[in-house]
Each structure stands twice: as structure tokens, then as C-alpha cells.
Amino acid sequence: MKDIEFKLNSMDIRPGLEIRGIISVSYPGRYDGVVINTQILDSNEHIIYKSYNGKKISQNVSRLFINKDVMTENKAEFTALIDFESKQEHEVKFRASIIEQHKEIESQIIFAKYSV
């Protein structure tokens, strides 16, 4: 098993529909938390993270750090949203990384599809 496992509820993302993801960490060493970076390829648009582990995020953030202290059983769930009209399909790159003292320990990348 890898040190980080990352899954999305759907690999087909639509405007305004909630994206749900879960991250599981089995890294045996000490770590500070996980970070999720997302890039919508061929676009200047951003994803907006709405919550993690049931806590709402009050500001619009496009990069999400989840501290290990709030990761029950080393798991984190999040919700996010992409909401812009596009005439073309975009690939969306999600990268979840384990962070220890500002360094990336391990990561997993997932590609999804965004279309109207």
C-alpha cells in the first residue's frame, strides 16, 4: 500500500456540482498534514474548496492544507466546486501530498474531466 491514497467521488466534473474527495495516509513517519493542489489545464480558472472533515471553509481557497491534528484515523474528506462555463472540455489535475516540515514526502495525482 502506498503512503497516500486519494480518491474522488466522480472523475466527470460538471459546473456547480459538488466534488467530494477522500485522502488516507498510512505514512509511518511524522508528518504535518496533507495539501491538495488543483490545476484546470488550458484554463485560468480555479477550483474552490468548500469544506474539509465537515468544517466549512469561510474564504475561497484554491489550495487546501489539512493539518494532521484534524485528520481522524489519518483520513481527510473534502468538498470543492468548479463553476465556470466553458465551450471545451478541460482536464483537471488533482495532486494530494503528504507534507513534513514544509517538504513533500509523497504524493498522488489524479486526472478528472471537466465539461458542461
Answer whether residue 115 shows pLDDT above 70. yes
Domain ranges in the chain are 4-114
* Phi and psi, residue 68, nearest 5°: -60, -30
Contact 19, 6 (CB under 8 A): no
Q: Of 21-25, 44-48, 108-112, which gets the smallest average pLDDT? A: 44-48
- pLDDT by residue (tens digit) across 53-77? 999 998 878 789 999 999 999 999 9
Q: Give the list of residues 6+ apart from residue 99 with CB closer than 8 angstroms, or none.
A: 31, 32, 33, 34, 35, 65, 105
Number of Cβ within a 10 Å radius of residue 46: 15
What's the order of all strands across the beta sheet hosting 63-67?
12-13, 103-114, 90-100, 33-40, 63-67
4-114: CATH topology is Immunoglobulin-like (2.60.40)
